[in-house]
């Protein structure tokens, strides 16, 4: 089987996908129509074309945080948010994703509060035809939030985790890495963790060795990106050794890092150092709408850039199953990948 088809058909696990960054052009157009039909004020007309940040784009990571407001203007009502969830899950499923942890930041809009925001996504997950994909929700805290708001989100996450432990699995910290101070989120994150939620932290998107060490010492269940950890990509010997000792799984997002110029090119991506050092890694899309990618394309890019064969790709897919937050689904997801592996005569 040709590599492209192999990457598409390989059952894959997506653990780092922001809902509002994952909207495809066709989803955005459907939401626009829906909002127009329901009389919702549309402010996105002139901005739609600016949503995608492709390879030749001059914008960088800092600019990228403006872009999300375009998606936010479309997912402004519970109905639009629910449809955005369903369409996005369908696209991941069509791309061969068999388990996804979608993450999103609850917001108050003129049409819904944070509670209704979470309800709308959970409705979307429930109403999506889940025949080939298991979908879970991670609730995001944004680094630009004041402590009061991050506490509010942690409380909501705990409440929803207690009501729907089969759907809500974790809390994560994301947003512009130049804004906010990790320590101010520690009380909210600790409460969420003590209540049983898993924790993921965006870590090392910019060079900030002090914060990276604090994050690793916090012992989250997963780290996102992990760019400025290895000395070759802006980290220090200390940050790298701390990660190697901790062996915290890292969610890698190659195209996102290249398109935001956080790393200078695919061949210089820290995937190589992490892979060779045996750090547990998971391949992800981050914001497939913004960065015009897909999960199978990310596997394909890894294979082409780092000369991985089908067996090595399959090992990555199997390895990812160990790090899904819904512990009860680990075996189910793993057997799905192994069934494919056996069918294709691969020996792991
Ligand atoms: C940090 C990011 C991100 O939550 O509204 N987000 N945070 N680094 C990144 N790297 C590119 N990509 C996305 O989805 C959009 C939100 O996800 C976070 C940002 O907070 C962004 O506003 P939701 O569904």
Tens of pLDDT, residues 246-267? 999 999 999 999 999 999 999 9
pLDDT of residue 45: 67
Comparing 40 with 192, the larger pLDDT belongs to 192
- Residue-level pLDDT at 190: 98
pLDDT at 129: 83
The domain spans of the chain are 3-342
pLDDT confidence bin for 46, thresholds 50/70/90:
low
Q: Give the 3-state secondary structure of the chain.
A: CCHHHHHHHCCEEEEEEEHHHCCCHHHHHHHHHHHHHCCCCCCCCCCHHHCCCCCCCCCCHHHHHHHHHHHHHHCCCHHHHHHHHHHHHHHHHHCCEEEEEEEECCCCECCECHHHHHHHHHHHHHHCCCCCCEEEEEEEEECCCCHHHHHHHHHHHHHHHHHCCCCEEEEEEECCCCCCCHHHHHHHHHHHHHCCCEEEEEECCCCCHHHHHHHHHHCCCEEEECHHHCHHHCCCHHHHHHHHHHCCCEEECHHHHHHCCCCCCHHHCCHHHHHHHCCCEEECCECCCCCCCCHHHHHHHHHHHHCCCHHHHHHHHHHHHCCCCCHHHHHHHHHHHHHHHHHCCCCC
- pLDDT for the residue 281: 98
Domain 3-342 has CATH 2.170.150.70: no
Q: State the pTM of this model.
A: 0.98
User: What share of the chain in percent tops pLDDT 70?
Assistant: 99
CA of residue 140 to ligand 1 center, whole Å: 9
In this predicted structure, which of 31-45, 54-68, 178-192 has the lowest mean pLDDT? 31-45
Q: Is 205 a catalytic residue?
A: yes
Whole-number Å distance, alpha carbon 175 to ligand 1 midpoint, is 5
Span 219-231, pLDDT tens digits: 999 999 999 999 9
With the most atoms of ligand 1 within 8 angstroms of its CB, the residue from 84, 174, 178 to mutate is: 174
**Atom nearest to 202 CA in ligand 1:** 1
Catalytic residue among 101, 205, 211, 251: 205
pLDDT digits (tens, 9 = 90+) for 194-210: 999 999 999 999 999 99
- pLDDT greater than 80 at residue 44: no
């Amino acid at each position: 089987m040709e590599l492209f088809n192999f990457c598409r058909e390989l059952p894959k696990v997506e653990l780092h996908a922001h809902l509002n960054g994952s909207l495809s052009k066709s989803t955005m157009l459907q939401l626009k129509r829906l909002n127009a039909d329901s009389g919702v004020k549309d402010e996105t007309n002139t901005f739609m074309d600016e949503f995608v940040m492709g390879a030749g784009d001059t914008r960088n990571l800092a600019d990228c945080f403006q872009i999300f407001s375009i998606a936010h203007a479309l997912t402004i009502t519970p109905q639009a948010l629910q449809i955005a969830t369903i369409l996005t899950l369908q696209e991941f499923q069509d791309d061969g994703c068999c388990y996804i942890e979608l993450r999103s930041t609850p917001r108050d809009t003129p049409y819904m509060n944070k509670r209704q925001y979470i309800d709308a996504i959970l409705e979307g997950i429930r109403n999506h035809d889940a025949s080939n994909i298991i979908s879970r929700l991670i609730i995001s805290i944004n680094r630009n939030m004041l402590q009061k708001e991050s506490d509010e989100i942690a409380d909501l996450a705990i409440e929803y985790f207690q009501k729907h432990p089969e759907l809500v699995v974790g809390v994560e910290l994301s947003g512009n890495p130049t804004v906010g101070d990790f320590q101010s989120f520690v009380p909210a994150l600790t409460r969420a963790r003590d209540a049983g939620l898993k924790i993921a932290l965006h870590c090392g998107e910019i060079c900030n060795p002090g914060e990276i060490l604090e994050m690793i010492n916090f012992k989250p269940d997963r780290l996102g990106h992990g760019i400025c950890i290895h000395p070759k990509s802006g980290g220090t010997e200390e940050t790298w050794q701390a990660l190697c000792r901790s062996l915290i799984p890292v969610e890698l997002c190659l195209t996102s890092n290249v398109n935001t110029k956080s790393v200078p090119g695919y061949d210089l991506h820290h995937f190589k150092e992490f892979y060779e050092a045996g750090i547990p890694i998971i391949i992800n899309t981050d914001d497939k709408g913004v960065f015009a990618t897909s999960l199978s394309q990310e596997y394909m890019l890894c294979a082409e850039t780092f000369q991985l064969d089908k067996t090595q790709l399959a090992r990555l897919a199997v390895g990812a199953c160990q790090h899904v937050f819904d512990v009860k689904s680990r075996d189910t997801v793993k057997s799905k990948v192994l069934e494919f592996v056996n069918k294709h005569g691969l020996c792991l």
